[in-house]
Structure 1
Amino acid sequence: MSAVRAALRIARRSAWRARGRSALIMVMIGLPVLVITAMLTLTETMTVTPREGLAAELGAADARLVQVPAGTELHQEQNGASWNTGGDEAAVPRLGAAEVVALLGPGTRLIPFSTGVLRLGAERVDALEIDLRDPVTRGMLTLSEGRFPAAREVAVTRAFGLRPGDLLQPVGVAPLTVVGVVEHPHQPSLRQVVGPDLPLAPLDEFWSPDGRGTGWLADTPKPVSWADVPTLNRAGLFVTSRAMLTGPAATPVRASAFDVQATVGIGAMVIMVVLEIVLLAGPAFAVGFRRRRRELAEIAAQGGSAGQLRTIVLADGLVLGGVATLVATVLGIGAGVLGAPVVARWGGQVGPPGVPWSPVLSVAALGLLTGLVAALVPAVQAARQNTATVLAGRAPAVADRPGWPLVGAALVLAGLGATVVARRQPGSVWVLASAVLVLLGLVVLTPWLVRCTGRLAARLRLPLRVSVRDAVRHQSRTVSAVAAVIAVTATVVAMGIGAYSEYMDRRNAYTSARPTGMLAIWAGNIGDAAWNRLRAETARQLPGVPLVAGYHAKDAQGHRYALRYTVRWNGIRTRRTVAIGDQALLRLLQGRHDPQAAAALASGKAVVFDAAALRDGKLALRASSTSAPARKLDVPAVLATPADEHQGGALLPRALVEQAGFSTSERQLYAMYRPPADSTLWRDLAKATSRVTIASEEGYRNVPDPSLWGWLGGALVLVVGGTLAATRLAAADMRPERATMMAIGAPPGMLRVVVAGQALYISGLGALVGLAAGTVTGVALSRPMTTHGAGDPATIAIPWPFVLAVVVGLPVLATAAALLTRTRLPLAGRLR
């Protein structure tokens, strides 16, 4: 039998005997492999390629043709499409079905369709106008209940929650009857209405190839190839055909260019994952080595070489890492494939099950390598142990390496210097790469930190003094556990500071032109009679609510103008539309009566709430119109304090606007009123005029990133798990001391305190050092995550509850868990 085969058999039997320790190691090695494999498989399954999405886009047709807007110059190529909307509107004609058939050849059959939005009250939902009963549409949507719609009927996707027989009420038309429930092949969360004759809302957005529009599905006598595309583009048709995506001339898949930042980021992530796993699994491997020390010494006494002892211990890593990787890979693939449809129902799309084998196998190889690396230190110790000392039952001496602290300090200083430089670089990848250098340096420095802090043991009470001295004496297990806690704490604190700083930056960047709780109602170019009806209906719908008027500006030809200015708010250029009104509107915008602002408004000056918008007592405005030339205005202005901290904007008196050559007409209403969640105010006002728009200012509604607490949960598992693994080893190593303490009458509670002291020392030291490293990295991360250009200051915010939970709460929790560790010792016979 070969030495390797014998070592694998010994490792398998040892793993089965110590099933709890083996399970702990397998979980620590396999969990990252499972998570990464599941994410890779999930991403691959939720990525729908153009070929996979052909049926949903074309149905059974040969081609899909979309008309481009007038004046658009379109050029499709195999590597993409380009379009320009600045051309002559007469350059692209609007084709009819007969012209399209002439382009595609005799025998072509066309099915018209339109994609857009349907207005259902205040909601705008996606809509597809097409006759699903036609065989050419087979595969675009799957019927799950009822039947396909006919005239004045619709089908809805399952996300609506409607059943056949329900009614939809679009704005301005009669209700539509729901006769079927359909499902999109790849988008289970899609909310879409489908029917042959839908009252689609007018398009008010820029056109793009994947945007909304009208066109045809074409059943052609011959395939539509790339050779036909230029002619169709010149005719104003964007083409998607089956032959273009599946034929021999289909668009080739090009390898992405080498990305330095992406490569550095992947490398840093791999190093961090391996480091975390090795440090966490290291104490567990050390447990096995300590328990098998005598067995290994007996093998050495019978002629086993140092290389054979290393092979036996490395076989533990190979067996446990191999099994953990295999199980985790299988479970990760299954979780990714089965989880894709579930995740897609919350948003996104799902395609056929797919496994990116190259990345998955690379992750599996990384997991296997991690198991071997985690067992490497115990393997070296096994080869170097003194056989006579172990067989005599004495603890082996630990040799210090005085040069290692210098190496660790050099790595830390290099990492700090790199962090200072990386903080000024775009993107956060370089900061994370610099943090890896700092963590590697701290790992190398950890033995020195353990020895230095061990000198403080003389000042502690007896149980803690015994715990700290024992931890210093057994550095092989203590150092690994402390380094693991440092790495986890530093990573979590850094990500917490970065994420919270980004949240605070978004919160500071929030701005509005109206105070929180204000309701605004306005209409477009409508006549006075329609406005009077809208105003009367508003007063009827909001009885007892004071309404304040606002005004629109028009030139002598009746063109409506919007008055705007641009200001830099929290580093971002923000364009604001100014309001036109009187003292009552000023009082609403300020939330109080301001005599100075009111006097300035009465004297014909603008009242501005953005200090940065004022230049020498003037406000620079741009008057723009969709149907007339733009104008520039400089108006006198004063600065005032708004009602809310994040509120900006400006108010112009009517006299000032009229002096600039405009006329004003009342077309806005304001009120301090919050509509309830089930309000039908927009639908009720739309009965007076369909051009009405309402907006309720709700203030900043986002909450801090919930992933912070996900990071805390991960840290809880890793810190407590690694600490308890080291504590269990300490409890085994401290049996002689604990037996002596019991013999002289120490109570069981004191024995538990001694064991818990190990957990407090390991987790506390690691958390404090990790806090320092994580804070430096988190502050550095805040700059690329919160700056928006040159000269924009970074936002630095520390989530103190989160940091205290990590740095204080986790060590306390680990200590409390260690108090539950079994401290009873088996009775030992003594020689007389």
Structure 2
Amino acid sequence: MSAVRAALRISRRAAWRSRGRSALIMVMIGLPVLVITAILTLFETMTVTPQEGLPAEIGAAEVRLVRVPKGTVLQQQPNGSSWETGVDGTAAPEPGAAEVAALLGPGTRVIHLSTGVLRLGTGQVDAVETDLRDPLTRGMLTLSEGRFPAAREVAVTPASGLRPGDLLRPSGAAPLTVVGVVDHPNRPSLRQVVGPDLPLVPLDGIWSPNLYGPGWLAGTARPVSWADVPALNRAGLYVISRTMLADPVMARASAPGVQGVVGIGAMVIVVMLEIVLLAGPAFAVGLRRRRRELAEIAAQGGSAGHLRTIVLADGLVLGGAATVVATVLGIGAGVLGASVLARWGGQVGPPGVPWTPVLCVAALGLLTGLVAALVPAAQAARQNTAAVLAGRAPAPADRPGWPLAGAVLVLAGLGATVVARRQPGSVWVLASAVPVLVGLVALTPWLIRLTGRPAARLRLPLRVAVRDAVRNRSRTASAVAAVMAVTAMVVAIGIGTQSEYMDRRNAYTSARPTGMLAIWGGKMADATWNGLRAETARRLPGVPLAAGYQANDAKGHRYALRYTVRWNGTRTRRSVAIGDQTLLRLLQGRHDPRAAAALASGKAVVFDAAAVRDGKLALRASSTSGPPRRFEVPAVTATPADEYQGGALLPRALVEQAGFSTVERQLYAMYRPPAGSTLSGDLHKVASRVTVASEEGYRNTPDPGLWGWLVGALVLVVGGTLAATRLAAADMRPDRATMAAIGAQPGTLRMVVAGQALYISGLGALVGLVAGAVTGVALSRPMTTQGAGDPATFAIPWPFVVAVVVGLPVLATVAALVTRTVPPLARRLL
């Protein structure tokens, strides 16, 4: 029998004898593998490719065609996604079903399919107008209850909350009877109504393929390829073809650049470091348990190489079993999590596993199992056989060079961080954090010994826990370093993400306050504008309207007046409004006597203080059909209605003094159109060249994925701490037996175990907070700056940081405290 085979057999038998310790090692190795595999599978399953989403898009048809609005020139590009639109009054008229069938050739069968919204009394809902009984629609929706609808009937998705027999009452139309419930194959949370004849809301505004529109499904005698697309585009049809998506002309994916390689390398190092740190304590405890067994093998002729092979075989056996189990569980968790998350929102495709990354993660877990066993293997080869057989355990010895090496690595990493924060991209900052983490790992035994000195002033359970942790530094250091690495990584990402969010929020600016409705008429006749103003007043009864004016030169060319100012460190170009006291009151949200007097005296009222220099505002007048002009006007600064609001208001007299004429072509009102409002469509019926905009303010919310990192940290920190605590409790069995023998209560023994958890997670979280804060500060610069002169934004997500640094150690301690601790039985001589 070969030495390797014998070592594997010995390791397998030892793992089965010590099933508890083996399970802990497998948990520590498998936790990161499980988490990463679950995340990879989750994203792969929730990413629906065009090929996977094709049945929901076109059913069993060969092609779906969407008719674009009249006057829109469409040019789809042969890469499966790009498209361009333009406006051309000479574009072809909108085709009908007969023209579409003729364009697709003989043997074509066409059925109607339009997408839009159905307006209800309580709002609006997405709607599809088609006949689901037709074979061409097979696969678009799956019938789960009832039947497919016929005339004046509809089917609904489960998210609508309706059942067969209910009535749907569209606004301005006869009620529709619900006869079926259908499921969308990729979007279980979709709220949608489907029927063959629905009163869809007409399409308003600029068209996009992602929006609604009338169209058809077509079954053809031949495939529709990219060669057929130009002719269909010229006919005003957007094309979604099965053949095009099955064989798209896609650009080849480029190889990762230097930053990509550095980022992948840094991630691999951090993952390996985390797994090694989690599994290291278990292998160290296992070595102490097996010292006598290994010494007996050495006494019977085993060499140092044989002892190393046996301990490394432990890493191979346990690491291999852990990665297999963790990979299977991670795949299952990712697929299940995707289906659950999709019911809350989003989409889900068929179960997908990115096998290349998943197998790389599994191989990484197996490799780190071997790496985690390297140090115990070296210790086993160096142990004194006679001393072990005599029952004399070697005293733990610190390596004097490690603190110095750790300090050098930390300083080198901090220097690299200072340089990296000035580089474009955040990869360099994350890469520079790796030597800092490695250096802190080397410093951890020294930190443990340093923090153990005040243990004499602690209560008995905590004193025993801390002294045991200090006495077994090789076991404690790995667990503390693992918590430190997770905390540092999560805190750094949290600070960087929050800084990026705050930078986006601070950079947001508008020329109008939140809640203001703006209607711009553009170039149109006076009669058309008067009709537009009358229609606006009719549609908004009782809402005060403020007039805005347009600047024209002597030839009638329209000019836009603008100025440039720095906002949040970025050069921003502002458009200037022209109006009177009524518009000024809307822009300020109140009556400002000083600003009103300045406007009446012929001065500009500016809401950007930095734009006014020596009482002057520098303006640039530009036009698409006339030469640009530059001039200055007298100005005063004022306070706007909202803190993010900028812009300026000029009186008509001041603009006319500069050589322009003014004509009313704008309307403003403090009014929020309700959901499903038809105001824009009604005004477009009066004048096609009208723009309706409602200022909604900053609408983005903090990244919800930040709390996903908290969940990952929860699994790693709490799971790793509890596993290390259980190892410590098993290792402290003689001490706990002595405490029980002299009268210690079970609560005291539990407090000792909880003290170990608090010490491990608390010390790791504090050190990780410092390291993560340094990296987060550096990370905030490349994530929040767009170039030279743009100041960085730094923000701390305090609830998130407190939850990581305080909440997770407290949770780990409570979990250890409620663990049932049975006083160990000790064998005594009588």
TM-score by length of 2: 0.82
* Contact 1:408/1:442, CA 8 A, preserved across alignment: yes
Give the deviation of 1:143 after TM superposition. 4.2
Identify the residue that residue 618 of structure 1 maps to in structure 2.
617
Matched, 1:205 2:206: yes
| 315-324 vs 493-502, which moves further | 315-324
Give the match's secondary structure for 2:140: coil
Total equivalences in the alignment: 811
- Cα deviation, residue 278, structure 1: 1.4
Q: Residues of 1 paired with 2:219 and 2:623: CA distance?
A: 46
SS at match of 2:365: helix
Question: For the residues of structure 2 that align with 1:72 and 1:694, how far apart are their CA atoms?
Answer: 23
> Which among 479, 484, 487 is matched to residue 486 of structure 1?
484
Q: What is aligned with 1:265?
A: 263
Find out whether 1:174 has 2:170 as its counterpart. no
In 2 relative to 1, CA 739–336 (structure 1 residues): closer, same or farther, beyond 3 Å? closer
Letter of the structure 1 residue corresponding to residue 55 of structure 2: A
Question: In 2 relative to 1, CA 233–589 (structure 1 residues): closer, same or farther, beyond 3 Å?
Answer: closer
Larger mean CA deviation between 569-578 and 791-800 belongs to: 569-578
Quote the offset at 1:779 in angstroms. Answer: 0.6
Moved more, 601-610 or 37-46: 37-46
1:396 matched residue in structure 2: 394
Cα displacement (A) at 1:460? 7.8
Aligned AA for 1:108? T
Contact 1:658–1:664, Cα closer than 8 Å, also in 2: no
Contact 1:499 1:708 in 2 (8 A): yes
Task: Check the 8 A contact 2:127/2:200 in 1, yes or no.
Answer: no
> Alignment identity in percent?
73
> In the TM superposition, what is the alpha-carbon distance from 1:68 to its structure 2 partner?
6.0
Assess if the C-alpha contact under 8 Å between 1:622 and 1:633 holds in 2. Answer: yes
Cα deviation, residue 443, structure 1: 1.7
**Where do 1:145-544 residues align within 5 Å?**
145=145, 155-163=155-163, 165-169=166-170, 174=173, 177=176, 179=178, 181-194=181-194, 195-196=196-197, 198-205=199-206, 207=208, 213-229=213-229, 232=232, 237-246=237-246, 251=249, 254-451=252-449, 470-515=468-513, 518=515, 520=517, 535=537
- Larger mean CA deviation between 722-731 and 553-562 belongs to 553-562
For 1:331 and 1:666, locate their aligned partners in 2 and report how far apart those are by CA, in whole Å. 61
User: Counterparts in 2 of 1:390-789, with a 5 A limit?
Assistant: 390-451=388-449, 470-515=468-513, 518=515, 520=517, 535=537, 548-553=544-549, 567-571=565-569, 582-583=580-581, 586-587=584-585, 589-614=587-612, 617-618=616-617, 620=619, 635-653=633-651, 655-656=653-654, 660-664=660-664, 667-670=667-670, 704-730=702-728, 761-789=759-787
CA contact (8 A) 1:411 1:441 kept: yes
Secondary structure of the 1:187 match is coil
Q: Retained in 2: the 8 A contact 1:116–1:203?
A: no
Matched residue, 1:54: 54
Contact 2:80-2:248 within 8 A present in 1 as well: no
Residues 497-517 of structure 1 deviation map (CA, whole Å, 9 limit, x = unaligned): 21222232233234444556x
Q: Is the 8 A contact 1:550 1:579 kept in 2?
A: no
Provide the rounded CA distance (Å) in 2 between the counterparts of 1:284 and 1:548: 74
Show CA shifts across 1:314-334 (max 9, x none): 333333322222222222222
Output the CA distance in 1 between the equivalents of 2:85 and 2:701.
39
Look up the match of 2:137: 137
Whether the aligned pair in 2 keeps the contact of 1:550 and 1:667 (CA below 8 Å) is yes
Code of the aligned partner of 2:286: G
For residues 815 and 119 of structure 1, do their structure 2 counterparts lie closer, same or farther at Cα, with a shift above 3 Å needed? closer
- Checking the alignment, whether the CA contact within 8 Å between 2:456 and 2:463 is kept in structure 1 is yes
Q: Distance in 2 between matches of 1:472 and 1:830?
A: 30
Alpha-carbon deviations, 1:99-124, whole Å to 9, x = none? 55554433333335444556668967
Report deviation, 1:39.
2.8
Quick one: which amino acid aligns to residue 553 of structure 1? Y
Give per-residue Cα distances to partners, 1:611-647, cap 9 Å, x unaligned: 244456225366889xx98987855432112244333
Cα distance change of structure 1 residues 762 and 163 upon mapping to structure 2, 3 Å threshold: closer
When residues 221 and 2 of structure 1 are mapped into structure 2, their CA distance, relative to the original with a 3 A threshold, is same
Structure-2 change in CA distance of 1:9 and 1:150 (3 Å): same
TM-score of the superposition, structure 1-length normalised? Answer: 0.82
What SS is found at the alignment partner of 2:828? coil
SS of aligned partner of 1:35: helix
Across the aligned residues of Structure 1 and Structure 2, the Cα RMSD in angstroms comes to 4.5
Residue type matched to 2:387 in 1?
Answer: T
| 1:30-45 paired onto structure 2 within 5 Å | 30-45=30-45
* Shift in Å, 1:552: 3.3
How many Å separate the matches in 2 of 1:812 and 1:203? 55
Q: Which deviates more from structure 2 when the two are superposed, residues 490-499 or residues 186-195? A: 186-195
> Structure 2: which 5+ runs fail to align?
none
SS of the residue aligned with 2:344? coil
Relative to structure 2, which stretch is displaced further, 357-366 or 519-528?
Answer: 519-528
Residue 567 of structure 1 deviates from its aligned partner by 4.7
Q: For residues 159 and 564 of structure 2, what CA distance do their matches in structure 1 show? A: 40
Q: Which range moved further: 370-379 or 457-466?
A: 457-466
The aligned counterpart of 1:544 is none
Structure 1: gaps of 5 or more residues: 541-546
Residues 493 and 776, structure 2, Cα contact 8 Å, conserved in 1: yes
Shift of the 811–740 alpha-carbon distance from structure 1 to 2, 3 Å rule, reads same
- For residue 533 of structure 1, report the CA deviation from its aligned partner: 7.5
Secondary structure (helix, strand or coil) at the match of 2:393 reads: coil
Give the C-alpha shift of residue 416 in structure 1.
Answer: 2.1
Aligned letter for 1:288?
Answer: G
**C-alpha separation between the residues in 2 aligned to 1:288 and 1:683?**
73
CA gap 1:129/1:553 in 2 versus in 1, 3 angstroms:
farther
Query: d(CA) in 1 for partners of 2:724 and 2:572?
Result: 55
- State the Cα distance separating 1:782 from its structure 2 match: 0.5
CA contact (8 A) 2:121 2:169 kept: no
My pick for the range that moved more, 291-300 or 66-75, is 66-75
Partner SS state of residue 661, structure 2? coil
Secondary structure, aligned partner of 2:668: strand
Q: Deviations over 1:202-248 (max 9, x none)?
A: 3423645x6655554333333334554555556665544344455xx
Give the secondary structure class of the aligned counterpart of 1:345.
helix
CA gap 1:38/1:653 in 2 versus in 1, 3 angstroms:
same
Give the 3 Å change call, closer, same or farther, for CA 574–820 of structure 1 in structure 2: same
For residues 448 and 712 of structure 1, what CA distance do their matches in structure 2 show? Answer: 29
**Residue type of the partner of 1:138?**
R
- AA matched with 1:381: Q
Q: C-alpha displacement at 1:131, in angstroms?
A: 4.5
Provide closer, same or farther for how the CA distance between residues 192 and 387 of structure 1 changes in structure 2, counting only shifts above 3 A: same
SS in 2 for 1:139: coil
- Structure 1 pair 133–563 and aligned structure 2 pair: CA distance change class (3 A): farther
